[in-house]
Amino acid sequence: MEGGLLNRGKVCSECGSKETRTGEFKGYGALFKKKAMIKCSEVDACFCINCGLILSLKVRNPEKFL
């Protein structure tokens, strides 16, 4: 996970904090291609450590959906 790139320079629109962290959705939180359960990718999330607002989501391996 490229956590530093995902949260670099983010400011929370909810509380104004610049304290962000990254996490990931895995398993049932993964993004699946419609009608093809085999093709999936984890989703990385950048969130505010102060209030919990999710600032951005990014599919880790978008090439799996081509």
Give the domain ranges of the chain: 3-65
Radius of gyration of the chain (CA): 13
Q: What is the pLDDT along the chain (66 residues), one digit of tens a residue?
A: 445 567 778 899 999 999 999 998 877 776 677 776 567 788 899 999 999 999 999 988 888 888
Helix (H) or strand (E) holding 59: strand 54-59
pLDDT at 13: 94
pLDDT at 5: 64
Whether pTM > 0.75 for this model: the answer is no
**Are the beta carbons of 44 and 63 closer than 8 angstroms?**
no
pLDDT at 1: 44
